[in-house]
Homo-oligomer: A and B are copies of this chain.
Amino acid sequence: MRLPHFAPLPASLPATVPFVGPETLERQRGAAFPARLGANENGFGPSPKAIEAMAQAAGEVWKYGDSTSHDLVHALAAHHRVTPAHILVGEGIDGLLGLTARLMLAPGDAVVTSDGAYPTFNYHVAGFGGVLHKVPYRNDAEDPAALTAMAREVGARLTYIANPDNPMGSWHEGDVIAAMLDELPPDSLLLLDEAYVEFAPDSAVPAISHDDPRVLRFRTFSKAYGMAGARIGYVIGHPDLIAGFERIRNHFGVNRVAQAGALAALGDQDWLVQVQGRVAAARNRIAAIAGECGMTALPSATNFVAVDTGRDGSHARAIVQGLAERGVFIRMPGVAPLDRCIRVSCAPEIELDLFAEGLPQVLSEF
């Protein structure tokens, strides 16, 4: 008996995964990573109030989650001074980027991003038949002028930029991002991934009207709020764009426990401030460790630091590999010249100690 054929679009796609998860790497090496510094998770954790809310909600997990995430949407609307109609809660930014690709792209449509930017976005674009056009980073940052120029050249339906950026940690002032909107071609949408924005200076947040129909802004509870495993994020945009998702989203897809946790996390802004402080201190520590090894930490407005190894991608890759063998999980950018760097997530002291210990050992072996 033959396997039924897949639809033409999926049939044309490779079986792939944007990232190999740390658990998979742990199984390959046969031991856990005592230092988990590779996935830009937030080891300082969520607010204790969020943990408590989730533990409480676990007892009510027999109920489906509210399909409208009503309470969370309303709290977010108040937080961002918009109406609830401007916000959709979804299964993390990854899930929301997938839905956005589906909502906006017909096969063959042009999409612009930076070469070396978020692979999961590229995965979703390819998954709906979009054609990616990539522009290079410039000075280790995404290049707004190049992105919009390419968008005009190819008539992009979607243009992606993360501010602050992953994997480099660089950022632009909000004015620069806002100015991109006027440079985009007509009938085009800017996808502004603000996953790390709570770690950035206030001036990195663009003053864009929430009724501007040319942009969707993506936020998450995975990073500053420390809830990556809960899979909950949101998108802010013009109500008619937000309403578009009702055509395609999986309405009961957001975990009930995650909704309760996110609501509590949002309500504990004091904890967020503490985390921001710890992250800033950890960035300094990572920079110091790098400096002691003759490497240069790049400025970061995120909860990770790209460290310039001073050599090339194969050198950086050897460091990543050497650290992994010592139980220190980090990652690195995927394309040159960014791949001269290693990328180290902020984490509690005890994990950074292992990085501080392992890095000179690895280097001494070369």
> Which one of A101-109, A171-179, A266-274, A276-284 is at the B interface?
A101-109
- Which A287-317 residues sit within 8 Å CB-CB of chain B? none
State the copy count for this chain. 2
Residues of chain B with a CB closer than 8 A to A104's CB: 4, 6-7
> Are A46's CB and B23's CB within 8 A?
no
> CB < 8 Å: which of B1, B46, B60, B65 contacts A62?
B46
> Are A157's CB and B4's CB within 8 A?
yes
Instruction: State A44–B8 Cα separation when bound (angstroms).
Output: 44
A14 to chain B, nearest CB (A): 7
Q: Does A333 contact B (CB under 8 A)?
A: no
Residues of chain B with a CB closer than 8 A to A241's CB: 3-4
Q: Which of A9, A128, A213 has the most CB of B within 10 A?
A: A9
Also in contact, A94 and B257, with CB within 8 A (given A58-B55, A62-B45):
no
Q: Does A365 contact B (CB under 8 A)?
A: no
A328 to chain B, nearest CB (A): 16
What per-residue 1/0 map shows which CB atoms of A194-232 lie under 8 Å from chain B?
A: 000000000000000000111000000010001111110
Residues of chain B with a CB closer than 8 A to A255's CB: 229-231, 255, 257-258
> Are B252's CB and A66's CB within 8 A?
no
Residues of chain B with a CB closer than 8 A to A5's CB: 187
A318 to chain B, nearest CB (A): 25
> Are A64's CB and B21's CB within 8 A?
yes
> Are B43's CB and A62's CB within 8 A?
yes
Q: Does A95 contact B (CB under 8 A)?
A: yes
> Are A51's CB and B58's CB within 8 A?
yes
> CB < 8 Å: which of B1, B4, B61 contacts A229?
B61
- Which A16-71 residues sit within 8 Å CB-CB of chain B? 16-24, 27, 36, 39, 41-46, 51, 54-55, 57-68, 70
Closest chain B residue to A230, Cβ basis: B61
Q: Does A81 contact B (CB under 8 A)?
A: no
Closest chain B residue to A107, Cβ basis: B7
Q: Does A188 contact B (CB under 8 A)?
A: yes
> CB < 8 Å: which of B4, B62, B222 contacts A227?
B62
Closest chain B residue to A56, Cβ basis: B55
> Are B261's CB and A58's CB within 8 A?
yes
Q: Does A240 contact B (CB under 8 A)?
A: yes
Q: Which of A9, A59, A65, A257 has the most CB of B within 10 A?
A: A257
> Are B257's CB and A229's CB within 8 A?
yes
Instruction: State A183–B284 Cα separation when bound (angstroms).
Output: 67
> Are B226's CB and A61's CB within 8 A?
yes
> Are A188's CB and B19's CB within 8 A?
no
> Are A102's CB and B64's CB within 8 A?
no
Pairs across A and B, CB under 8 Å, 20 listed? A1-B212, A7-B105, A10-B244, A15-B246, A15-B247, A21-B252, A23-B70, A41-B63, A41-B64, A43-B62, A54-B54, A54-B257, A55-B58, A61-B228, A62-B227, A64-B222, A65-B229, A94-B252, A127-B248, A229-B256
**Contact surface of A with B, Cβ cutoff 8 Å:** 1-10, 13-24, 27, 36, 39, 41-46, 51, 54-55, 57-68, 70, 91-92, 94-95, 98, 102-106, 109, 120, 127-128, 157, 186-189, 212-214, 222, 226-231, 238, 240-241, 243-244, 246-248, 250-258, 261
Closest 10 CB pairs of A and B: A229-B256, A15-B246, A54-B58, A55-B55, A23-B66, A13-B247, A21-B67, A62-B226, A61-B229, A3-B213
